[in-house]
């Protein structure tokens, strides 16, 4: 009997420890091209909402786009959600530079407070990645990319420095548990369709996906295309003085394709990065490897073992409700 009691107590302790381990907040770095599309704003709202719920720690918000107001936009959103000190990085050197055609960026930068006033005040993205990763426990970081792969390629190609004796590939392998990427296409158009995030810097995309040393989960174009969000926040009169609401309210009417809300490519990637896919999606049954072609299209190598891509499971209205509820989340009171 004594041995049974000891065994039972040990099982309870181990079970409690395992549960506690599962409840530890995810360490997240968000890499975004925020500007050409506004689903990135919904994705950032979701990320901050999940951080407020204790489900993640936002280690940095980093831009893969170079247009002039991208760092101030990130600063506005981080400040609005009461995290003005989150490190912000911007890609340096050769990179994509696409401005915000709908002009919602100038709207919120003018209207809301922000610590970082221009891109020069933000850190070099590669330097910031190396500094953040070097300081984290091994295999503890999830990176979620909802933009171009420029920063990922630059990180992989980075050299040892004062923060780490490891080169980029070794540093990623040591510190990054998972990459979740809104990228590519995995439906019947695969091989012909050139997904925006992959195609705009196809050289960096190919470098990244050929050489990334940790597991990748892809939220493909075909996932977010079917899921629409953003209308509920525009109609909620209780939400006032919100940059998230302002962005959706300004942008949705400008595109007839958004009558039911904006397609939610980036929101799905952030949700999966923090909560995992199991409640919301299936994944391709057998792991493989995404093959990036030089023109920005992609294929799937079934003999690979690194990657998975999402497959729809939860009924679309239900996942839209989950995402919209998070997008409407309001910052914690001071």
Residue-wise pLDDT tens digits, 149-180: 999 999 999 999 999 999 999 999 999 999 99
The pLDDT of residue 8 is 39
State the pLDDT confidence band at 333, using cuts at 50, 70 and 90.
confident
Token code pair at residue 328: 């409407």
Compute the Cα dihedral for 44, 138, 124, 115 and give only its sign: positive
d(CA 281, CA 309): 10
d(CA 1, CA 20): 28
Closest Cα to residue 152, out of 86, 95, 100? 95
Token code pair at residue 63: 């831009």
Q: How many helices (H) and strands (E) does the chain have?
A: 14, 13
Helix, strand, or coil (residue 88):
strand
The pLDDT of residue 23 is 73
Compute the Cα dihedral for 213, 282, 232, 58 and give only its sign: negative
Binning the chain into helix, strand and coil, the percentages to the nearest 5 are: 45, 20, 40
Strands of the sheet with 176-182, listed across from one edge: 123-124, 88-90, 56-63, 26-32, 141-146, 176-182, 216-219, 307-312, 281-283
The pLDDT of residue 332 is 79
Helix, strand, or coil (residue 272):
helix
Closest Cα to residue 327, out of 4, 6, 36, 47? 47
For the chain, percent of residues with pLDDT exceeding 70: 93
Query: Is residue 51 over pLDDT 80?
Result: yes
Token code pair at residue 116: 């970082």
d(CA 270, CA 182): 9
d(CA 177, CA 141): 6
Cβ atoms of 209 and 77 closer than 8 Å:
no
State the pLDDT confidence band at 7, using cuts at 50, 70 and 90.
very low
Cβ atoms of 145 and 182 closer than 8 Å:
yes
């Amino acid at each position: 009997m004594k041995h049974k009691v000891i065994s039972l107590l040990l099982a309870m302790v181990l079970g409690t420890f395992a549960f506690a381990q599962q409840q530890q907040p995810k360490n997240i770095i968000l890499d975004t091209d925020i500007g050409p599309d506004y689903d990135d704003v919904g994705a950032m709202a979701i990320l901050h909402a999940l951080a407020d719920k204790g489900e993640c720690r936002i280690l940095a918000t980093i831009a893969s786009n170079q247009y002039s107001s991208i760092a101030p936009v990130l600063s506005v959103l981080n400040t609005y959600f009461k995290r003005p000190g989150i490190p912000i990085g911007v890609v340096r050197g050769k990179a994509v530079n696409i401005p915000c055609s709908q002009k919602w960026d100038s709207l919120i930068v003018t209207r809301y407070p922000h610590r970082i006033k221009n891109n020069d005040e933000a850190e070099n993205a590669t330097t910031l990645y190396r500094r953040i990763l070097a300081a984290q426990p091994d295999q503890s970081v999830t990176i979620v990319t909802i933009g171009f792969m420029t920063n990922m390629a630059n990180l992989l190609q980075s050299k040892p420095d004062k923060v780490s004796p490891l080169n980029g590939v070794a540093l990623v392998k040591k510190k990054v548990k998972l990459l979740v990427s809104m990228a590519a296409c995995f439906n019947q158009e695969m091989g012909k369709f050139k997904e925006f995030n992959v195609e705009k810097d196809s050289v960096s995309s190919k470098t990244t996906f050929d050489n990334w040393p940790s597991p990748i989960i892809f939220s493909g174009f075909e996932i977010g295309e079917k899921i629409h969000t953003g209308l509920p926040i525009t109609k909620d009169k209780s939400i006032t003085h919100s940059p998230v609401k302002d962005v959706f309210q300004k942008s949705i009417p400008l595109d007839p394709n958004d009558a039911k809300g904006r397609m939610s490519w980036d929101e799905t990637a952030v949700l999966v990065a923090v909560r995992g896919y199991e409640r919301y999606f299936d994944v391709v049954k057998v792991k493989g490897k995404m093959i990036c072609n030089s023109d920005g299209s992609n294929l799937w190598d079934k003999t690979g073992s690194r990657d998975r891509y999402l497959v729809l499971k939860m009924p679309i209205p239900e996942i839209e409700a989950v995402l919209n509820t998070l997008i409407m989340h309001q910052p914690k009171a001071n």
